[in-house]
Amino acid sequence: MALQHIDTDTPWWQLGVVYQIYPRSFMDSNGDGIGDLAGVEQRLDHLVDLGVDALWLSPFYTSPMKDFGYDVADYCDVDPMFGTLDDARSLITSAHSKGLRVIVDFVPNHTSDQHPWFIESRSSRSNPKRDWFFWRDGTAQPPNNWLSHFGGIAWTWDPSTEQWYLHSFLKEQPDLNWRNPEVRAAMMDVIRFWLDQGVDGFRLDVAHYIAKDPQLRDNPWLAEGERNAGHRDSGEFSRMVHVNTHSHMDIHDWYAELRQVMDTHHVAERGVTARYSVGEIHLFDWEEWAKFYGTGPGTGLTMPFNFSLMKTGWNAPAIRAAIESCEAAVPAWGWPNWVLGNHDESRVATRFGSEAAARAAMVLLLTLRGTPTLYYGDELGLIDTPISADQMQDPWGINVQGLGLGRDPERTPMPWDSTANAGFCPVGVTPWLPIGDLSVNVEAQHHDPESFYALTRSLLALRRSRAALTVGSWLAVDAHDDSVVAFERHASGESTIVVAVRVGGAAGVVSLGEGLGTVVLRSSSIHSSDTVDLASVELRGNTAVVIERR
């Protein structure tokens, strides 16, 4: 299965599908109500059965858990809550033995305030690590007008050394100063450490944040009534243009260096074919976004995450525009990628309003040109789990009460079966977040040939069996219908695959070209093999069809 292409020259990440695991919520192996690494290892066969190629683990490092692991106190160890370094090694080895690659989270922008580097840095103005973080003078006023993502200003006053320090997120997440070469060297050592443990790549947390304006100048404001596109916050933060906080052009040299380390470190000894680096980059200017691919092969990240489909809504013109813009923006040496959900966004089935829409969207995610990243539970069509105020865990939701920004609803435990705690943790234990509708679970969907799981699994099998759907070219098809997104995928020596998705809308007939085709899959009824005339294909509202041209 997964490693079938290992001997070809095409890197695995170009052919493969990545599955994101939020370790707290996947599987609890020791009955404390919190998922852990040994739990993930126990459930690896689910990924094999589903047919994905790699897993990405959100952070499991030593952490006070103020931001559930995105506040790292030791980059090179495992938090006891998640297990031990040996558990991490064991998971990596097991995953590899099952043909799965392992990608770990790397959090370059900030540490925890409990990281020894910050503790040292904070201890005195003359400490050798003082400049590893951002310390600035200021009297009653902070050094500039920057705001924290999680509410309030981005600076905290340290009374003992009488300076402010910068934190783009929580005050317990101080920003590292990547302009200091010692910081860059230390972070490259972290990369080497995890490569030595056998990981195949990294997902870089808020990757664009590491390079700020060298003078830390104020950010401009949008005009009254205007809002930043693409930001979940509806408060003051979304009225600020964060130009000086991130994406300074120096960043590209630092990622070129990181890429160099990844492409060379113990590559020959380990027989490595390709390593993967994907940056979490919330930039919606395609030109700026594409710069993270570097200036030529091997000079940038493997790819910046493409979050455009998380911002379009379930809207056909916006989706078509996102796909066309991405196809136009990715440089010749780059490769696109697509994301519909993650641990920071409302679940797809909730965002797009229905299971039917989420099924059609899954067809889109798995047939577009580029590497898809699939969030755990989206293969079941999970919806957001309602979280009451007293159940809330996410610091963002807690800090910015009332704005609905908490991310707990999309982070609830994976439902494995219909028993009281869904097979996630033992019955009688309270899971860290409530579990959603128990009738939606892996076991039940396994037995249902038309389930969401069956659809995702069939799509993944189809992808693996057709070069057209992996390395094939992409071409827009004009279906002459505003509510339809349609395109063709083609690889030489294979029949062309035509995909059409009706986004909302009412049932109707669409034109997808000329000649006859065989329906390989419909989002609403998976096992079909009808013959259709491409000039008039029946397409119901919120459904998708995949057709093989004859």
**Which residues does the annotation mark as catalytic?**
205, 280
Nearest CB to ligand NOJ, comparing residues 63 and 543:
63
User: Which sign, positive or negative, has the C-alpha torsion 533, 455, 495, 329?
Assistant: positive
Give the residue from 457, 471, 459, 442 showing the smallest Cα distance to 520: 459
Min dist. Cβ of residue 206 to Ca ion (A): 27
Binding segment (CB under 5 A) for Ca ion, from list 23-31, 51-59, 175-183, 528-536: 23-31
Distance of CA 349 to the CA centre of its chain: 17
Q: How far is Cα 550 from Cα 496, in angstroms, rounded to an integer? A: 8
Number of chain residues interacting with ligand NOJ (CB under 6 A) = 9
Q: According to DSSP H, which parts of 199-279 are helical?
A: 251-264, 267-270
Residue closest to ligand NOJ, measured at CB: 70
Min dist. Cβ of residue 397 to ligand NOJ (A): 11
Q: Is 28 in the site for Ca ion (CB under 5 A)?
A: yes
Binding mask 62-91 for ligand NOJ (x = CB under 6 A): -----x--x---------------------
Q: Is 79 in the site for Ca ion (CB under 5 A)?
A: no
525: tokens are 């009824």
Q: Is 32 in the site for Ca ion (CB under 5 A)?
A: yes
Min dist. Cβ of residue 25 to ligand NOJ (A): 13
Site for Ca ion in 530-549 (CB under 5 A): none
Q: How far is Cα 87 from Cα 93, in angstroms, rounded to an integer? A: 10
Query: Do the beta carbons of residue 117 and residue 132 sit within 8 Å?
Result: yes
- Give the pairing of strands 201-204 and 276-279: parallel
The secondary element (H helix, E strand) that includes residue 337 is: strand 337-339
User: Which sign, positive or negative, has the C-alpha torsion 497, 501, 507, 508?
Assistant: negative
Give the residue from 235, 234, 522, 229 showing the smallest Cα distance to 362: 522
Site for ligand NOJ in 98-127 (CB under 6 A): 107
User: Alpha-carbon dihedral of residues 449, 452, 453, 458, nearest 10 degrees?
Assistant: 70
Q: Is 205 in the site for ligand NOJ (CB under 6 A)?
A: yes
Nearest CB to ligand NOJ, comparing residues 205 and 488:
205
* Helix%, strand%, coil% for the chain, nearest 5: 30, 15, 50
Q: Is 282 in the site for ligand NOJ (CB under 6 A)?
A: no
Q: Is 41 in the site for Ca ion (CB under 5 A)?
A: no
Nearest CB to Ca ion, comparing residues 72 and 425:
425
Q: Is 351 in the site for ligand NOJ (CB under 6 A)?
A: no
Residue 282 in 3-state DSSP?
coil
How far from 253 is each of 256, 292, 295, 348, CA to CA, in Å?
Answer: 5, 10, 10, 35
Min dist. Cβ of residue 88 to Ca ion (A): 14
Binding segment (CB under 5 A) for Ca ion, from list 35-43, 309-317, 397-405, 461-469: 35-43
Question: Which of 13, 22, 23, 36 is the binder for Ca ion (CB under 5 A)?
Answer: 36
Nearest CB to ligand NOJ, comparing residues 41 and 378:
378
Number of chain residues interacting with Ca ion (CB under 5 A) = 5
Nearest CB to ligand NOJ, comparing residues 233 and 280:
280
With CB under 5 to 8 Å by kind, the binding choice for 327 among ligand NOJ, Ca ion, none is none
Query: Do the beta carbons of residue 248 and residue 214 sit within 8 Å?
Result: yes
CA atoms within 13 A on the CB side of 3: 14
375: tokens are 């969030």
Give the residue from 92, 5, 10, 46 showing the smallest Cα distance to 415: 46
Give the residue from 274, 345, 324 showing the smallest Cα distance to 303: 274
Q: Is 169 in the site for ligand NOJ (CB under 6 A)?
A: yes
Nearest CB to ligand NOJ, comparing residues 70 and 487:
70
Q: Is 206 in the site for ligand NOJ (CB under 6 A)?
A: yes
Q: How far is Cα 338 from Cα 404, in angstroms, rounded to an integer? A: 25
Q: How far is Cα 154 from Cα 170, in angstroms, rounded to an integer? A: 8
Nearest CB to Ca ion, comparing residues 29 and 228:
29
Question: Which of 343, 351, 463, 522 is the binder for ligand NOJ (CB under 6 A)?
Answer: 343
Nearest CB to ligand NOJ, comparing residues 203 and 259:
203
With CB under 5 to 8 Å by kind, the binding choice for 36 among Ca ion, ligand NOJ, none is Ca ion
| Binding positions for Ca ion, rule: CB under 5 A | 28, 30, 32, 34, 36
**In the complex, which residues of this chain contact ligand NOJ (CB under 6 A)?**
67, 70, 107, 169, 205-206, 280, 343-344
